[in-house]
Amino acid sequence: MNDVAALILAGGNGTRLWPLSTTAKPKQFRRLLCDRTMLQLTADRLAGMVPPERTFVSVRREHVSLVHQQLPQVAGENVLAEPQVRDTAGALGYAAFAIQQKFGDCVMVVLASDQHVESITQFQASLQTAIEAARSGTYLVSVGVPPSEPNPQYGYMECGEELPIASHAFDGVRYVEKPSAQIAEQFIKAGNYLWNTNIFVWQTDHLLSALRRYQPVIYRLLKTMHRIRMASHSYEPTELYGKLPKISIDYGVMEQVRPGDDHRHVFVKGDFGWSDVGGYRTLEKTCRGDEHGNRCRGEVSASSTKDCLLFCESPWQLQVEGLSDCNVIVGENGEVFLSSRHSESADLRNLWQSGASRLLGRSGQFQADARLLRVNNLGFFADSGMLCAMDVSNLDVRIRGNSVRVAGSPMLAPPLATGDALTQAGGLANMTVAVAERYERMSEMAAEAFVETVSNAIASKGKAVISASAGGTPELLYGLLRTRYRSAVDWSKLVFFQMDEYFGLHPSDNQSMAAYLLSRVIEPLGITNFVLLPNGRECDADALAEHERRLEDAGGLDLVVHGIGRNGHLGFNEPSSAFDSRTRMVELSQSTRQANRRFFSNGQETPGYGVTLGLGTMFKARKVMLLASGEAKREAIQRCVWGVCSPDVPASMLQRHSDVDILVDQDACGWLLKPQLSVMAEAPQFEAADAILAGSTQGENGPRVQTFVDGNLKRAA
């Protein structure tokens, strides 16, 4: 075909396939499907249709050498380096000018380098149809395939009447970019929609005239670059290229075409087994499974394992035992990625790149890095390498040199030699630890979770019963409720019970906790139904019992929001408080009085006694949120999650609760950043708890923890 040239787009990052796809070597340069890379497979599909000398590749400047290595048959001047990433409208226009400069106006075939095609014969037949259509007029031709499922991750094309210009060519009605699953289902039932494969065919003149009409700024900049390049072959268009608007060809041109325009859409229907290899779910579909449903590539040994995606890049070896329904990916740099098969890898990529998520364990010459997301009982033993994990449970991971072992029985294998670092996720399966980089982000996450919990309670039963602490840690949370979420909730449907109070301080006293809550929460939000603790002279046994009765009559607490004391107290429940304790008067410890002295001025002494909801009362809450900020709370949080479940640390009671969110900033999670190996190397043991907790569930090897780092807590729930 002397009037045809092809452009392969190879400038993407492939971030959803991290760590197989990295910034240094994205997925199109990887051997994901066979012994040929995705880029090489794309070029192979053109064999017999477009010769190498008429094949062009658009790629980011830093990846030009990879194209030369993998496609040596493509001439150097045909590798078009993008100085900056400006999306496909600019890249395609830039390539169209380059093709015209070398071959004049011709048919231009555009292929993406990250797609899977099952039938090359059927693919080339559809491409031939598209080429014939492009030759017939001012057509912008798109190749589509019939959708096999209502996938909301793909774009759709609505076909009109069949056209006489070529077989299986239809009048193009419109593009619909990534509809909802419900709308996609309607498209499939209609029968006249195709998936948009982003395979385009057009005359170079027709593409450039479309850019001139729909994206005139892009066209003028490209035209200027072309003129300069014609005058100087050594021209590097860095400055002008960086001024190109960042917009895709889909949004910038294809979706702008209207009936009556000079340009016209033609949609060609193909049926060649197509998929866009964007994430692990799609990659799994392109791989053949063994008799146990495992899909493997690389040096992989699997036993007692089924329905897993197992990828291992050279020079690593992977041994898997006792797993099901998991992804286990070992990248060429030693990254180990574990997740459920139904997880998206974008969260893992963000988790790994986030400094706030770093879990570092060091001992002697051994070092191990880890990022853990929604993890349930994971053992990680390492002397080199890295680890990410998401939505996984009951795993034992060992990395030694170039060998990776993943097994389904954590903490049961004999320990490694003395000196090995161990980063082990512990805590209860119902406990979520959310680590934010800053206090401000922690407060935002807390506000989001607070509003969601309260809204759900109101929706289900018409009201929400809550109790929340006063103090410095929740200050910004309350500020966000007053401002950002003031209209998000019908606050008149809240019933607010005071959690604790200094004995003898009247609500009119500005230093009382009642005054704090009234001025920062109750009155600004318009909460009219609130119950203060009995205090002063009326604080007798009958009044305290009446407070408990009022709480029971309200239906019990839907949500409790705690801070935590340096000694692990919750509310004013000091160490040695019974887990089944009720609302009562307590003596405050010296450490609590010292910590709270900052709230009292003019030399006024911190009261020595307080009134508080008991641990047993608060334990009955349907959901608990615990907030901690600053280095001073590190030890308390560590003992709460990892320590012995004992009244000596009142917050450790939460290990037995059914629904706990613990939100901490980076300063408060030193126990994560620099784990105490002597503590974390063995499963914590519970002491006998009070009868109120006797029915709670405990894992065989001690508590387990779910960890979510610097993100939307809603996704971790």
Compute the distance between CA of residue 203 and CA of residue 201 in angstroms, rounded to an integer.
7
Whether the CB-CB separation of 679 and 642 falls below 8 Å is answered with yes
Which pair of tokens denotes residue 13? 């990052």
Compute the distance between CA of residue 572 and CA of residue 609 in angstroms, rounded to an integer.
9
Which pair of tokens denotes residue 425? 């996720």
Quick one: angle between helices 87-103 and 204-214, nearest 10? 140
Which pair of tokens denotes residue 364? 């002697």
Compute the distance between CA of residue 445 and CA of residue 661 in angstroms, rounded to an integer.
10
Name the active-site residue from 198, 294, 567, 701: 567
Whether the CB-CB separation of 13 and 23 falls below 8 Å is answered with yes
Whether the CB-CB separation of 335 and 404 falls below 8 Å is answered with no
Cα of first residue to Cα of last residue in the chain, in angstroms, is 57
Name the active-site residue from 158, 500, 661, 667: 500
- Is residue 569 among the annotated active site residues? yes
Tally of CB atoms within 10 A around 12: 18
Identify the helix (H) or strand (E) that includes residue 230: helix 216-231
Name the active-site residue from 569, 596, 661, 665: 569
111, 87, 108: which is closest to 98 by C-alpha? Answer: 108
C-alpha to C-alpha distances, 80 to 26, 62, 211, 288, nearest whole angstrom: 17, 12, 19, 35
Task: Fill in the DSSP letter of residue 549.
Answer: H
Tell me the β-bridge partners of 55. 6
| 3-state percent helix, strand, coil for the chain, nearest multiple of 5 | 35, 25, 40
The letter for the amino acid at 571 is G
C-alpha to C-alpha distances, 598 to 471, 603, 606, 665, 693, nearest whole angstrom: 11, 10, 9, 21, 36
Compute the distance between CA of residue 496 and CA of residue 190 in angstroms, rounded to an integer.
52
The letter for the amino acid at 637 is I
Compute the distance between CA of residue 375 and CA of residue 347 in angstroms, rounded to an integer.
13
- Is residue 567 among the annotated active site residues? yes
Whether the CB-CB separation of 361 and 375 falls below 8 Å is answered with no
Compute the distance between CA of residue 499 and CA of residue 570 in angstroms, rounded to an integer.
10
Compute the distance between CA of residue 172 and CA of residue 195 in angstroms, rounded to an integer.
13
593, 592, 590: which is closest to 606 by C-alpha? Answer: 593
Return the active site residues. 500, 567, 569, 574
